[in-house]
Chain A
Amino acid sequence: ETGVTQTPRHLVMGMTNKKSLKCEQHLGHNAMYWYKQSAKKPLELMFVYNFKEQTENNSVPSRFSPECPNSSHLFLHLHTLQPEDSALYLCASSQEGTGGREQFFGPGTRLTVL
């Protein structure tokens, strides 16, 4: 595997289900991100982990719960979601340092909440 991988690629869930999204980066980076991308909206940053520590939580509802067990893996646990949470969820990684750092994205998980 190379780059950033995400599973599953597609997920359909009911409002009462619990599911998890998985992200793995094979780039040796030290920072990982979760983004939400809805139709006709810009990328919304949800969570940032830097050296496995959560450094940012952009007022995301508690029905989204991130987990970063190590610098290569990132999870997004989902429970009691709403239909408006349907979107493309993107994971990204970067090597953070003193300069600006580009992010490398996974293919995304297309989530549909019924």
Chain B
Amino acid sequence: EDQVTQSPEALRLQEGESSSLNCSYTVSGLRGLFWYRQDPGKGPEFLFTLYSAGEEKEKERLKATLTKKESFLHITAPKPEDSATYLCAVQARAGKSTFGDGTTLTVKP
């Protein structure tokens, strides 16, 4: 059975304090690993897709990396507007997607 585990469950940072979120996964044939951002009461917003180990994607203060067992979402010099829940999901070869529980990030000014 495919599994996605995200850590930490919650992360509180001061503005400008860089950190990383972890997504560990087991999947029967990885078609893609996805990162989403979700604000309270809204639907998840797509951020990145990673397809193979060693791949990296960047967008503003966010950088996603992928190994064969885990993915990291690095946040450099975060701002309060980066506060949200970040979701990781994997899509298996058979096509089904499995989501993690998410990491809730709070950035204090």
Contacts and interface: CB of A to CB of B under 8 A. Distances in A.
Interface string B70-109: 0000000000000000010101000111011110000000
Given A42-B100, A45-B96, A110 B32 contact: no
Contact of A100 (B31, B44, B100): B31
Contacts of B46: 102-105
Interface in A1-59: 4, 41-43, 45, 48, 50, 55-56
A45 B98 CA distance: 8
A56 B97 CA distance: 11
A102 B49 contact: yes
Contacts, number: 57
Contact of A105 (B30, B43, B49, B91): B43
A99 B32 contact: yes
A73 to B, nearest CB: 17
Contacts of B97: 45, 103
A105 B51 contact: no
B25 interface: no
Nearest to B31: A100
B43 A100 contact: no
A113 to B, nearest CB: 18
A96 B95 contact: yes
Contacts of B89: 43, 103
A42 B34 contact: no
B42 interface: yes
B89 to A, nearest CB: 8
A96 to B, nearest CB: 7
Contact of B91 (A42, A90, A101, A104): A101
Interface of B: 30-34, 36, 41-46, 49, 51, 87, 89, 91, 95-97, 99-102
10 contacts: A42-B99, A43-B87, A43-B89, A90-B43, A100-B34, A102-B49, A103-B34, A106-B43, A107-B43, A108-B41
